[in-house]
């Protein structure tokens, strides 16, 4: 079990944070960015990086090869849509993708936008953890948090607008 402290100060014990988020038991700060039948996208605002998205499966699985055919198609399609939205509404040029199968959560992919300030932490995989820690420890101020929430809002609007258009056809 993992003990969580919610934004309202309430504490909660959950077996899997991803299950708690994708089932709606825990509302992510900033809200759900986009949700489909099998996937759920949100941001972890503890790491204030504008446009960062965590894409999690709704099913409690750990490994990519556990996805059904239908889930895997939805995954790649949604990942691509989120990436397009990051470029279109936030002007994000490069994204780092990260996911590991030996996680305490379940299947979830981090989409970490690459910004100029990250260069000092190096490139590629070795820079990911220092970048996230730097954001958590040094960018947790009102200005950056506001910027991050604005990014969530823009992505949410873009991604859900497209769904609505499709449904309207």
Residues in the site for Zn ion, rule: CB under 5 A?
A: 16, 18-19, 60, 106
State which residue, 103 or 138, has the beta carbon closest to Zn ion: 103
**Separation between Cα atoms, residue 110 and residue 106, nearest integer Å:** 12
State which residue, 22 or 86, has the beta carbon closest to Zn ion: 22
- Beta strand 108-113 with 53-57 is antiparallel
Nearest Cα to Cα of residue 52 among 67, 42, 38: 42
CB of 60 to Zn ion, least distance (A): 4
DSSP state of 157: H
Q: What is the DSSP string of 9-29?
A: S-EEEES-HHHHHHTTSSPPT
CB of 59 to Zn ion, least distance (A): 8
CB of 16 to Zn ion, least distance (A): 3
CB of 7 to Zn ion, least distance (A): 21
State which residue, 60 or 134, has the beta carbon closest to Zn ion: 60
- Crossing angle of the two packed helices 69-90 and 142-168, in degrees rounded to 10: 120
CB of 56 to Zn ion, least distance (A): 8
* Residues 143 and 57: beta-carbon distance below 8 Å: no
State which residue, 19 or 155, has the beta carbon closest to Zn ion: 19
* Residues 90 and 154: beta-carbon distance below 8 Å: yes
State which residue, 4 or 16, has the beta carbon closest to Zn ion: 16
């Amino acid at each position: 079990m993992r003990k969580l402290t919610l934004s309202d100060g309430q504490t909660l014990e959950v077996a899997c944070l991803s299950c708690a988020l994708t089932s709606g038991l825990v509302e992510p700060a900033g809200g759900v960015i986009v949700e489909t039948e099998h996937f759920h996208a949100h941001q972890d605002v503890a790491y204030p990086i504008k446009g960062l998205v965590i894409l999690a499966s709704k099913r409690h699985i750990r490994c990519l090869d556990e996805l059904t055919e239908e889930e895997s198609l939805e995954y790649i399609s949604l990942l691509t849509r989120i990436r397009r939205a990051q470029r279109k509404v936030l002007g994000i040029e490069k994204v780092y993708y990260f996911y590991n199968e030996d996680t305490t959560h379940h299947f979830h992919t981090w989409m970490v936008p690459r910004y100029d300030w990250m260069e000092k932490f190096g490139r590629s995989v070795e820079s990911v953890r220092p970048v996230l820690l730097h954001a958590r420890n040094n960018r947790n101020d009102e200005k950056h948090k506001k910027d991050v929430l604005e990014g969530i809002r823009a992505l949410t609007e873009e991604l859900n607008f497209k769904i609505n258009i499709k449904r309207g056809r």
